[in-house]
């Protein structure tokens, strides 16, 4: 259903402060907390004494304390202490490799010995003064692969997001999909078209005319296990489109980290990194609010889609040319799962 030997975004870094955070990821219940050095730790959300969720406990002097009987847990999954008890024989629980990077907490759900921090994708926009970022989190009751399908086929914008980023020209312009190893790229370039409402507002924010024809681009990049980065923007027509000089365009990257919770639910970390007016915090808030509404429009569609698929599992779905990005992304995912599950020689 999902690869395990990989890094998933568990939460935003600021979500873990003085209290533990419980989160189910890839059908595994995990609790995250900070030790006395401020470093994030992650262990199974299961007290070895009576099975209570450790996430209902608290952190004391950097140790995770069970809120039921006071058992103290170490970051390695071994019990440290418990009032009135000798704990040497207590069974260890699973611990997880974790990394704090780019404002997120990343967790490795598979073989801990294979967890390589170098495999976490690089985020050019983080701590870069030329960029600004704002985003949020949605919990979605749908298979995480449905969100990947959704993001790798932006044709739906014409219908689901008609009042913000959708326009007929998306339907009218064919997209191209290529596969580069584990990366799948679907791109669409539209020339000499009117800018939709969201991009008109972005042009105005940069001091550019919003009532002239533009060239628009959408470049969706899927990388395992479930990350989709989408280069988006518009430029005044006649200046080179995607390659136009910065003074003639507005350019952003839609950031999508999709983390499976269960077979039919996900944590969806969304955001937008923009490369214009990076110091304008009011604009960051405005874009975050607008983008949140846009993504919110997808939620009902995906959850109702999942309900249909769960009710009629025997029904086959069509694969059209516009579905190529999602289809190829699923092939990458299936291949990685098959490799993980193959007998070790």
In terms of domains, do 194 and 105 share one?
no
In terms of domains, do 210 and 318 share one?
yes
What's the pLDDT at 163? 62
Question: How confident is the model over 78-110, as pLDDT tens digits?
Answer: 999 999 888 888 999 999 999 999 999 999 999
- Mean of pLDDT over the chain: 92
Q: What angle do CA 7, 134, 195 make, to 5 degrees?
A: 115
What's the pLDDT at 157? 62
Q: Which residue segment(s) compose the domain that 206 sits in?
A: 132-341
Helices 144-152 and 324-341: angle between axes, nearest 10 degrees? 140
Task: With residue 12 as reference, give the H or E element that holds it.
Answer: strand 7-12
What's the pLDDT at 297? 81
In terms of domains, do 165 and 287 share one?
yes
In terms of domains, do 230 and 318 share one?
yes
In a domain, 92, yes or no: yes
Question: How confident is the model over 37-70, as pLDDT tens digits?
Answer: 999 999 999 999 999 999 999 999 889 999 999 9
Question: How confident is the model over 160-194, as pLDDT tens digits?
Answer: 565 666 676 667 778 899 999 999 999 999 999 99
63 within 8 A of 77, measured Cβ to Cβ: no
- C-alpha to C-alpha distance for 155 and 173, rounded to whole angstroms: 9
In terms of domains, do 112 and 142 share one?
no
**Around Cβ 341, how many Cβ atoms within 10 Å?**
9
In a domain, 104, yes or no: yes
The mean pLDDT of 126-140, rounded to a whole number, is 95
In terms of domains, do 27 and 97 share one?
yes
The answer on pLDDT for 302 being more than 60 is yes
The answer on pLDDT for 159 being more than 50 is no
pLDDT-wise least confident of 22-31, 121-130, 148-157, 225-234: 148-157
Q: What angle do CA 98, 338, 27 make, to 5 degrees?
A: 45
In terms of domains, do 102 and 136 share one?
no
In a domain, 150, yes or no: yes
- What count of residues does the chain have? 345
What's the pLDDT at 46? 97
**Around Cβ 293, how many Cβ atoms within 10 Å?**
13
The answer on pLDDT for 200 being more than 80 is yes
Question: Token pair of 104, please?
Answer: 């997120």
In terms of domains, do 95 and 145 share one?
no
Number of C-alpha atoms within 13 angstroms, CB side, residue 271?
22
pTM score of the predicted model? 0.92
Q: Collect all residues with Cβ–Cβ distance below 8 Å to 309 and sequence separation of at least 6.
A: 143, 315
Pairing of strands 104-108, 132-140: unpaired
The mean pLDDT of 279-294, rounded to a whole number, is 88
Residue 65's CATH number: 2.102.10.10
In a domain, 139, yes or no: yes
In terms of domains, do 240 and 103 share one?
no
Helices 281-311 and 197-205: angle between axes, nearest 10 degrees? 160
In terms of domains, do 189 and 86 share one?
no
Q: Which of 119, 154, 170 is the C-terminal boundary of a domain?
A: 119
In a domain, 310, yes or no: yes
Residue 280's CATH number: 3.90.380.10
In terms of domains, do 83 and 138 share one?
no
- B/e letters for 45-77, b = 16+ CB within 10 Å, e = fewer, are bbbbbeebbbbebebeeebbbbeeeebbbbbeb
In terms of domains, do 97 and 173 share one?
no
In a domain, 171, yes or no: yes
Smallest Cα–Cα separation from 222: which of 112, 327, 133?
327
Domain count, the chain: 2
The answer on pLDDT for 243 being more than 90 is yes
239 within 8 A of 92, measured Cβ to Cβ: no
Question: Token pair of 118, please?
Answer: 């170098």
- C-alpha to C-alpha distance for 71 and 83, rounded to whole angstroms: 7
Q: Which of 119, 140, 155 is the C-terminal boundary of a domain?
A: 119
């Amino acid at each position: 259903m999902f690869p395990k030997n990989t890094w998933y975004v568990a939460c935003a870094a600021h979500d873990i402060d003085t209290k533990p955070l419980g989160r189910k990821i890839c059908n595994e219940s995990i609790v995250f907390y900070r030790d006395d050095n401020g470093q994030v730790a992650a262990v199974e959300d299961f007290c070895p004494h009576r099975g209570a969720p450790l996430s209902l406990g608290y952190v004391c002097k950097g140790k995770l304390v069970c809120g039921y009987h006071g058992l103290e847990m170490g970051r390695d999954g071994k019990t440290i202490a418990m009032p009135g008890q000798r704990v040497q024989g207590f069974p260890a629980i699973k611990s997880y490799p974790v990394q704090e990077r780019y404002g997120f907490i990343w967790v490795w759900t598979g073989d801990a010995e294979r967890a390589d921090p170098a495999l976490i994708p690089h985020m050019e926009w983080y701590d870069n003064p030329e960029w600004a970022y704002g985003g949020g989190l949605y919990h979605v009751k749908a298979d995480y692969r449905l969100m990947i399908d959704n993001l790798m086929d932006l044709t739906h914008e014409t219908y689901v997001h008609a009042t913000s980023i959708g326009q007929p020209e998306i339907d009218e312009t064919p997209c191209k999909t290529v596969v580069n190893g584990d990366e799948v790229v679907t791109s669409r370039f539209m020339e000499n078209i009117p800018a939709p409402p969201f991009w008109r507002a972005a042009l105005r924010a940069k001091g550019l005319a919003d009532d002239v024809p533009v060239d628009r681009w959408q470049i969706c990049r899927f990388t395992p296990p479930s990350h989709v980065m989408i280069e988006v923007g518009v430029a005044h027509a006649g200046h080179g489109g995607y390659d136009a000089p910065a003074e003639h365009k507005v350019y952003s990257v839609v950031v999508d980290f999709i983390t499976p919770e269960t077979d039919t639910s996900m944590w969806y970390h969304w955001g937008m990194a923009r490369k214009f007016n990076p110091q304008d915090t009011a604009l960051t808030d405005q874009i975050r609010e607008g983008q949140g509404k846009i993504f919110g429009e997808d939620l009902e569609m995906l959850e109702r889609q999942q309900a249909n698929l769960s009710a009629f599992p025997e029904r086959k779905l069509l694969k059209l040319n516009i579905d190529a990005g999602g289809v190829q992304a699923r092939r990458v995912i299936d291949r990685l799962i098959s490799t993980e599950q193959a007998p070790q020689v």
